[in-house]
Amino acid sequence: MPLDHRRLQGPDDSQPPELWAAQPGDGGGEEEEGGAAPRDPCALRPLFARAGLLSQAEGSAYVELSGGTKVLCAAWGPREAAEPGGAVGAGRLLCEFRRAPFCSRGARPRPGGAAERDAEREAAAALREALEPAVRLARYPRARLTVSVMLLQDGGSALAAAISAASLALADAGVEMYDLAVGCALCRDGSAAGPWALQPGEAEERASAARLTVALLPALNQVSAVLGGGRGGAPEGWGRALRLGVEGCQRLYPVLRHCLLRAARRR
């Protein structure tokens, strides 16, 4: 029988999709969340991090959170600042944040639209605010350091993952830093008396009434940024959330340090 080269030819034999469906006992029921028990709000989602995986950048890092959040970051510098007459004794940190067109489910802003540009610009400003206290910019007079973050998949706590990935990428590029900046996100549901949950997922963030992202320099025990807002209840509740976020950053810090050590050994 002659082939029709204008069409994609399917296989001669095929199997019904039920053959490949996950069975109740084979451990493939990650999507079945309806009957899952509520998670511990103080529990951290498993985190995977790797540094030095992009050959085109001077420094790079990849951070993935269990649940679907995936962030890739690249860093360059120091480079001579393009603007003449820059301030002597201080460098500049330029941050860029982009969302991949396929990073989230459901409806999203039009690619390249004003809403998406504003969201990316706001995330880039938050990223710079969290990273600047960690970088020794005084050692790079009239120079600029560039950080570019790409959100590949948004499964919740994306800004916190981006802060950790960008800090790893800068350290991997050999930039002098006071300490790694570690990010940890929290959210609270609509009830004012409800608990704050560490590293919320996408569904938890959508249903939350208040969000908070804490950036910490753990070795110095210094908070570099507190980002967020919403209806979080009394000021004491925000204080508890800040302490919980700082504790979460301290628990994530050994994972990021070990990631940098592995990258140094590979080199």
Q: How confident is the model at residue 2 (pLDDT cuts 50, 70, 90)?
A: low
Least confident of 15-29, 93-107, 132-146, 226-240: 15-29
Ordered domains of the chain (ranges, CATH): 42-79+90-266 (3.30.230.70)
- Helices 158-172 and 114-131, axial angle in degrees (round to 10): 50
pLDDT digits (tens, 9 = 90+) for 61-76: 999 998 889 999 999 9
180, 250 contact by CB (below 8 A): no
Q: Tell me: pLDDT of 249 over 80.
A: yes
Question: Residue 68 has what pLDDT?
Answer: 84
Instruction: Let me know if 37 is exposed, middle or buried by CB neighbors in 10 A (0-12, 13-18, 19+).
Output: exposed
Mean pLDDT of 193-212: 85
Q: Tell me: pLDDT of 35 over 50.
A: no
What's 211's DSSP letter?
Answer: E
pLDDT digits (tens, 9 = 90+) for 40-52: 777 888 899 999 9
Q: Tell me: pLDDT of 136 over 80.
A: yes
> What whole-number distance in Å separates Cα of residue 129 and Cα of residue 120?
14
Predicted TM-score (pTM) of the model is: 0.80
187, 196 contact by CB (below 8 A): yes
